[in-house]
Amino acid sequence: MDIQVIFKVISFLLLVVIGIPGNITVMAAFVHLRLSDSKLMPPDIILTKLAFVNLLVVFTRGVPQVLTALGIKKLFNNNGCRAIIFLFRVSRALSICMTALLSCYQSIVLAPSSKRWRILKQKMPQKLLLIVIIFWCVNMLIYSWTLIFSYGPLNSTTEYTLNLEFCFVVFPTFAFYIGNGTLYLFRDFLFVGLMVLASGYIVFILYQHRKQVKGIRSSDRGQENTAETRAAKAVVMLVALYVILFGLDNIIWIYTLQVSKVATVVSDARVFFASCYSALSPILIIATNKKIQMKLKSLGQNQHHQTPETSVSHV
């Protein structure tokens, strides 16, 4: 096994080991909160859905990459490849959509209580489910082409082929290849633009808020660190993480549009950066979300208290 393969196995294995437990933890914590009769706020619902699509990203791309690098060939037939690539494309697209939705919602929450903003504050939670359904439908429609042009292992490849090793995506013409890439970039830049604008507005509001509380007594400043402020800061960090990884991913993607055949190492690098956010974001969510931290702490304490009773019952 050469160094390149070893590096690939380690890289994608880390994404799987971190991403799967991390996203499951985020989902399980919020589901447990909901089942314990605690009402989930709209940001909690968005984070739950974000963790779900991120889990799909890690499963559909990270796991096959690890298995392929370990020498397991022919993981999927044509239908399997179509399903796995379709799920990856849609779930990755939804990951960016959910992050943009989260940042937009948080910016609306922090906005002044003017008439226009008040209407948005009232309507946004009511339309949340509809927005999510629209995201699913639109992205499934956009990536329906993968159900036609994805194949299992091929004996030979043609021009304008993306080699994922376990599957191939064969574009029929140069126009379709460039058109798909352009649509992909447009969608990403649109939602990243929304993220950046919303996050910029959040930072502006927080800066204005900080200036306003500078003159108050130090004993009162701790009260200014509200749940909304903490959530807003967490969203800004989440967006910053995405933008950094998005930049690396799309620099490589733009390069692939300039060549007819994409080298495996280039495709692996792009897929790695495209999957990093799905694996790393749950760590950031857990580290900044008080509800998840308290739930994990309470579960740990319950398990600790139950351990002695369990051991006595077996004696």
Q: Specify if 101 maps to a domain.
A: yes
In sequence order, what E strands does the chain have?
150-151, 161-163, 168-170
Q: Do 58 and 15 form a contact (C-beta atoms < 8 A)?
A: yes
Which range of residues forms the domain containing residue 122?
3-293
Q: Specify if 259 maps to a domain.
A: yes
Q: Quick one: tokens of 25? A: 């933890």
Q: Specify if 298 maps to a domain.
A: no
pLDDT given for residue 1 in this prediction: 60
Q: Specify if 144 maps to a domain.
A: yes
Q: Specify if 312 maps to a domain.
A: no
Rounded CA-CA distance 215/213 in Å is: 5
pLDDT given for residue 144 in this prediction: 87
pLDDT band at residue 158 under the 50/70/90 scheme: low
Residue 120 has pLDDT above 60, yes or no: yes
Residue 168 has a CB neighbour count (10 Å cut-off) of 20
Q: Which residues pair with residue 161 across a beta bridge? A: 170, 261
How many domains does the chain fold into? 1
CATH number reported for the structural domain that contains residue 131 in this entry: 1.20.1070.10
Higher-scoring residue by pLDDT: 210, 261? 210
Q: Cα-Cα-Cα-Cα dihedral of 283, 143, 187, 287, to 10°?
A: -10
Q: Characterize 36-62 residue by residue with b for buried, 16 or more Cβ atoms within 10 angstroms of its Cβ, and e for exposed.
A: eeeeeebbbbbbbbbbbbbbbbbbbbb
Q: Which residues pair with residue 150 across a beta bridge? A: 169
DSSP count for the chain of H helices, then E strands? 12, 3
Whole-model pTM? Answer: 0.85
What is the average per-residue pLDDT within 86-95? 92
End-to-end CA distance of the chain: 50
Scanning 111-173, the segments in alpha helix (DSSP H) are: 115-126, 128-142, 146-149
User: How far lies 25's CA from each of 28, 31, 190, in Å?
Assistant: 5, 10, 30
Q: Do 152 and 74 form a contact (C-beta atoms < 8 A)?
A: yes
Q: Specify if 222 maps to a domain.
A: yes
Q: Do 89 and 180 form a contact (C-beta atoms < 8 A)?
A: no
128 burial via Cβ count (<10 Å: 0-12, 13-18, 19+): middle
pLDDT given for residue 247 in this prediction: 80
Q: Specify if 33 maps to a domain.
A: yes
Tens of pLDDT along 46-78?
A: 999 999 999 999 999 888 888 888 888 788 888
Tens of pLDDT along 188-234?
A: 888 888 988 998 888 888 877 777 766 554 444 444 456 667 778 88
In Å, the largest CA–CA distance within the chain is 73
Q: Specify if 269 maps to a domain.
A: yes
pLDDT given for residue 233 in this prediction: 81
Lowest mean pLDDT among 23-27, 37-41, 54-58, 188-192: 37-41
